[in-house]
Structure 1
Amino acid sequence: MKFSIVFDNYIANDRLESFWGFSLMIEDYFLFDTGSNGRALVRNMAKMGFSLQELKYFFISHPHWDHIGGIDSVIDENRLMSLFLPDSLSKFYVRDLRKLSREVKVISNPQKLFGKFYSTGIMEPIGEQSIIIEEEDFLIVVTGCAHPGVVNIIKRAIDMLKKPVLYVIGGFHLMRSTEEEINNVIKNLKSLGVEYVTPTHCSGDLAIEMFKDVYKDNYIPGGVGRIIEF
């Protein structure tokens, strides 16, 4: 698997634009979220060698501005994608996106999307879904902001597919958490068998440093422009 961070408030490549939000390319055909600024997203993707016209699938984790701000820019470039939208997104927005896309699927319950890709289904408190990728012996989880708690998301993935989670990438939403709270999250992820982590976006500087200290070589930094291959 190849993961390319195309939008993030952390920077891995100075040639790219950085604003608050998160977006990730999975391989070269699956876009996860859009960050907050669609024009910047499109420019970043072009500089990283991605063609919007080649996208086949488009996934939105939750309806916050810093994850859906680029939807219009993406749809303007490609109306032939399949969209996987959380049912927490405005029903009027969903209605309009149906007019502009080849296919729209509104997700509420845990389910298979296609191939080896699954949705955790909507998790509270704000109606957020995450992606689970099933490999032969393990799982990879992609989070938007992890408002439901990154530990809870990992537990759901394991419960759904009965395999360990090797790697989790995305926002961990720990930027307002105390050192003790972050330490508990790290201990829980370790106990669940998570071997590699990329906390970025809303994870917070303190949490990122703590994950780096604990996971050492198995901590993989984020930031716009970062390319991660397994």
Structure 2
Amino acid sequence: MSIKITTLIEDTLNKNSNLISEHGLSFLIECDNKKILFDTSQSDNFIANAKKLNIDLYDVDYVVISHGHYDHANGFKSFCDISRKNFSLYINHKFFDRKYSKKHGNFIYKGANFDKQFLIDRKINTFFVDKDITNLTPKINIISNIKRTTYYERINSNFYINIDNSYVKDCFDDEIVLTIDTPKGLIVLVGCSHIGIINILKTVEERLHNKIYGIIGGTHLIEADESRIDLTLNEFKKMDLKFIGISHCTGAKALEKLENNFGDIYFNNNAGNIINIL
């Protein structure tokens, strides 16, 4: 079994890279003779990066979008324009909740730039995930309905959804994660981890009855205080992770602590990074 995970776009670049960076995230997973696009960032820049990396996105089998925020979903329409295959889309059944952030008393739309009608018009084979575990391939699962067990992983109170013209706090019930079962343990791919990265990892371990080998993606520690970061890193150590490739919404303070605490098993997962696991 071989696995190849390419970070098509992310907030930062490796030195001397000729790729494009933007606030967003997109991965291509090649495994089980399938191509899976996980998140589509906020524009078509991930497609441009794929071309520079000599990666063909025309024949992607599955698209999985972690949650309904623009920086993970808004490149999807551009992807639909280039795809030449009848791919399947997997999103949570609450993906189309109208998402906003509150800044200086104003509500700013942060949701996706497409709706259910777009999917109908394009005849996109769409699966609305609502089960705890959804099998994508024999080795790849989508995990939903994440349990909230930690006391220190609090969701940013400035995120809202609009229901019947009323703004209520967004609990990110739409958030899903992707897992890959390898002989070394589970690889977990996360979008933003608004629910809490430790909540996610503990839920994954409990549901799939397997240890976690490594994690890739965003952890939303950018707004975490010192205590939450330290508690998170302590849990990473208890889990005995073998690689940590996170970035995006993780934040400079947490990234520095990760580098200091985990040395060679941590890397800042910039745009263009390729992970091969045999």
What TM-score range do you get, normalising by the shorter chain? over 0.9
1:114 to 132, 137, 140: 137
Q: Tell which deviates more after alignment, 196-205 or 27-36.
A: 27-36
Aligned 1:32-47 pairs, distance under 5 A: 32-38=38-44, 40-47=45-52
Aligned 1:1-230 pairs, distance under 5 A: 1-12=3-14, 14-27=17-30, 29-38=35-44, 40-78=45-83, 80-90=86-96, 93-111=115-133, 112-123=135-146, 125-126=171-172, 127-230=174-277
SS in 2 for 1:53: coil
Q: Which runs of 5+ in 2 are unaligned?
A: 98-113, 149-170
- Structure 1: 4+ residue segments shifted above 3 A: none
**8 Å contact from structure 2 (residues 25, 72) kept in 1:** yes
Give the whole-Å Cα distance in 2 for the aligned partners of 1:157 and 1:107: 16
**8 Å contact from structure 1 (residues 11, 18) kept in 2:** yes
CA RMSD of aligned residues (A): 1.7
Aligned-residue offset at 1:101: 4.6
Structure with the larger strand share: 2
**8 Å contact from structure 2 (residues 184, 213) kept in 1:** no
**8 Å contact from structure 1 (residues 83, 101) kept in 2:** no
Structure 2 counterpart of 1:44, one-letter code? N
Among the aligned pairs, what percent are the same residue? 27
Give the whole-Å Cα distance in 2 for the aligned partners of 1:47 and 1:101: 29
**8 Å contact from structure 2 (residues 38, 64) kept in 1:** yes
CA displacement 1:39-86 (0-9 Å, x = unmatched) = x12111111111121211110000001000101000111151111111
SS in 2 for 1:3: strand
SS in 2 for 1:9: coil
SS in 1 for 2:40: coil
| CA 136–99 in structure 1, closer or farther in 2 if over 3 Å, else same | farther
Give the whole-Å Cα distance in 1 for the aligned partners of 2:139 and 2:116: 25
Give the number of aligned pairs: 229
Structure with the larger helix share: 1
Give the whole-Å Cα distance in 2 for the aligned partners of 1:93 and 1:221: 33
